[in-house]
Amino acid sequence: MKFFERPKCLTEAIAPVITLDRLMGLRVFEYPRGQPRPLLSLIYLLLLYCLYYSGSWYLGEEYYLIVKLMKLEYFLYKVLNYITVAMIIVKLLLGWWYTKRLKTCYNKIIEIDETLRQLGSTINYDRIYFIIIGVLIIWFTIGFSLGIVIFIAMRTHTNVYKTVGAIVTYGYGMTVNSIIIFEFYIFVKCLQMRFDLVNQLLHKHSALSTKVMKLGTFEIQDFAEIINVEQQCLLPTKILSKWCQKRLSGKKMQSAKNISVLEKPNLVKSYFPPHFQKQFDREFRNRSQKHNSVMTKCQERKYLLQIIKQVHLELCKISKTICIIFGVQTACEIGMITIFFTGTLYIFSMRYIIRQHKITDNLLQQTSTMMIMCIINILKIIFLSRVCKHAANKGNKTVEIIYSIYGCDEASGVQEEIQQFGIQILQSPVRFFAYGISLDNHVLTMILKAVTTYLVIMIQVSNSLESNKDIQDT
């Protein structure tokens, strides 16, 4: 597949993300295609982690010692470094472990796409593909710019090799943390699009049901036509009765009087004038065809509703599965972002508000780097929480559409399916979470509340530490 060629299936649309996952050691790679190599992939990710581990401990000191750290800053830096190194290996191992399960989710989405396509929906893979390409281009541009800033800041204090090593090391850690959030975002976006297609099919089904109900229910005009036909056939029926009384006797005469309505067309056709026969046959055929048509459309509506119900159920199962796959990793990333925000605001308050240190060029370079990192983390949280909220709304909105159909359709079989569909959604609503943290519009508010609380505590602790002469300065 060419770079900007339109994708024809889901695997082609998400191919750049899968390739980047395998390069970072987050997924089991396949060689040749279709044959996974879990052992070789495990060795590869452990090799990458060893390089990252050595670089984070040895080369990281070169950058953070450019600006003199306060006592609490030094402690926070050490704690954050420990946590970051531990979280990277956890994310790599979880990504390697859940590779097969994630591939199963992709295959289920492909099957759902084929079902929706047969029902008449159009699956647009261009949107997902160009979102991926656009985000990757922006990410590499920001990473390149951030690397230049770090290179300029460190070049005056260390050699080129250590500077490049530090940039690669921290770039690898940032990429691993960000690609997990981005892949989670892509998955939720795919589910949101499928929930939207399901709702569109239900809207069409609702319009069709209303139309069919108007056609399938006998109105006043239909009753008037039936009465006219019966009145036109009343005279031949009386003549037929008198003729039968003369020809038949005993039980035969009694059975002729009890001729059923379904037998009358044949009798009229056999014994009465052609204009009565044609008119009666035409009306009887129209009523039969109309009744069969109504029954066929009712069965089609019921069958369509069963398929949509199964598709919605599979989408809900996939949403829960990806929350399990990405839950621990996303929760760890939210915790890391909270710690990073707290430390960044603490450093800014100490440097620029309380003015514990003199502002220099190195301090401005460090400030610009941290500001870029804060913007990236804020964007990750905002986009992830918004797409999870919109996808959950699309999935739960199906209940409203279902009960709007329930109020219009009177077929007993369709009513039963609608009731089961509604109970299915109410018992298992669509919700995205990360290890107990609900992913919605309140995530950023929760982070800001935690950061504010911790920041106040840190400023108070820092003042007491700086005034204590028994604790040595770093």
Q: Are 415 and 467 in contact (CB under 8 A)?
A: no
Q: Which residues pair with 433 in a beta bridge?
A: 438
Output b/e per residue, 394-417; b: 16+ Cβ within 10 A: bbebbbebbebbbeebebeebeeb
C-alpha span between 154 and 147 (Å, rounded): 10
- Stated pTM of the model: 0.78
* Helical H segments across 397-436, by residue range: 398-406, 412-427
**pLDDT for the residue 113:** 92
Q: What is the DSSP letter of 30?
A: B
- Mean pLDDT value across the chain: 76
C-alpha span between 15 and 1 (Å, rounded): 9
Cβ of 28: how many Cβ atoms within 10 Å?
A: 24
Q: Are 76 and 346 in contact (CB under 8 A)?
A: yes
Q: From residue 368, give the alpha-carbon distance in Å to each of 31, 205, 371.
A: 42, 55, 5
Low-confidence ranges of the chain (pLDDT < 70): 1-4, 58-71, 156-157, 205-298, 355-363, 406-413, 463, 465-474
C-alpha span between 443 and 182 (Å, rounded): 16
Q: Indicate if the alpha-carbon torsion angle 341, 347, 349, 352 is positive or negative.
A: negative
C-alpha span between 103 and 111 (Å, rounded): 13
Each residue of 174-221: pLDDT tens digit? 899 999 999 999 999 999 999 999 998 887 766 655 444 343 333 334
C-alpha span between 380 and 373 (Å, rounded): 11
**pLDDT for the residue 276:** 47
Quote the tokens at residue 149.
């800033």
